[in-house]
Amino acid sequence: MNKISTLLVAGSLVAFSAPAMAQDTGSFDGFRIQGVAGYDALKAGSSVDDDANADNDQSIDGLVYGVQVGYDYDLGNAVIGLEAELTDSTAKTEFVNGDFEGFGFGQVEAGRDLFLGARAGAKVGPDLLLYAKGGYTNAKLNILANDGTTEYNEDFDLDGWRAGAGLEYAINPRTFMNVEYRYSNYSEGEVDFDGDLADSDRFDVDLDRHQIMAGLGVRF
């Protein structure tokens, strides 16, 4: 009788644990929010790069950090979604070995960066998503320049596009982590003047941005 009771209890535990284990499978569906951080590098594009001076790479780099929100649709073996991101960066010009990395503008500090886009991916495992992304990006650069008479401290407002790819791992149905690489190119800009002055006319720029990011987030 004791053996029969033991078997019944064991069978009941297996029956109840099976659904619980199934619920632990990762999810890629619904609203998500995450913190992101990583390496940020901005460089003058190929059309304006100072290749004649090997000591001047016209680049700045630093830490990028911010928050991302999105909504995903799990289609079975594939996932599609929309996302928006707001980040800031510590990248700025500096002197390297006595050489000022002028960046083509003057003294530069990277400011906030906005991204609106979409992503699509394929499940390469029950809890692992391989995805690509793309969309619109708008960045700010704080520029300190001097024309010999007047010092200017203004924001450059830059428009461009972004493309990237990454891996996302569903730790459980509610939490996830990911790593990704993305490239941005900014091709148009304007000067945002302080005070009552109107913004400048649009002008052409050529600026490349490379970022390696990691994120940790939750789904709702």
If one looks up domain 27-219 in CATH, what number appears? 2.40.160.20
User: Could you report the per-residue pLDDT of 94-107, keeping only the tens digit for each?
Assistant: 766 656 666 666 67
Helices (H), ranges, the chain: 2-23
Residue 184, pLDDT above cutoff 50? yes
Distance in angstroms (rounded) separating the CA atoms of residues 210 and 43:
8
Q: What is the pLDDT of residue 14?
A: 39
d(CA 137, CA 188) in angstroms, rounded, equals 11
Q: Quick one: pLDDT at residue 15?
A: 40
Tokens describing residue 17: 């644990």
Give percent of the chain with pLDDT exceeding 70. 68
Q: Which residues of 37-67 are buried (b: 16+ CB within 10 A; e: fewer)?
A: ebbbbbbbeeeebeeeeeebbbbbbbebebe
Indicate whether 198 pLDDT > 70.
Answer: no
Band of residue 152 on the pLDDT scale cut at 50, 70, 90: low
Dist. CA 39–CA 128, nearest whole Å: 23
In whole numbers, what is the pLDDT of the chain averaged over residues? 80
State yes or no: pLDDT of 134 exceeds 60.
yes
Rounded CA-CA distance 114/81 in Å is 17
pLDDT in tens, 13-66: 434 344 444 444 568 999 999 999 999 999 877 655 555 555 455 788 999 999
Domain ranges for the chain: 27-219
Whether pLDDT at 136 is above 70: yes
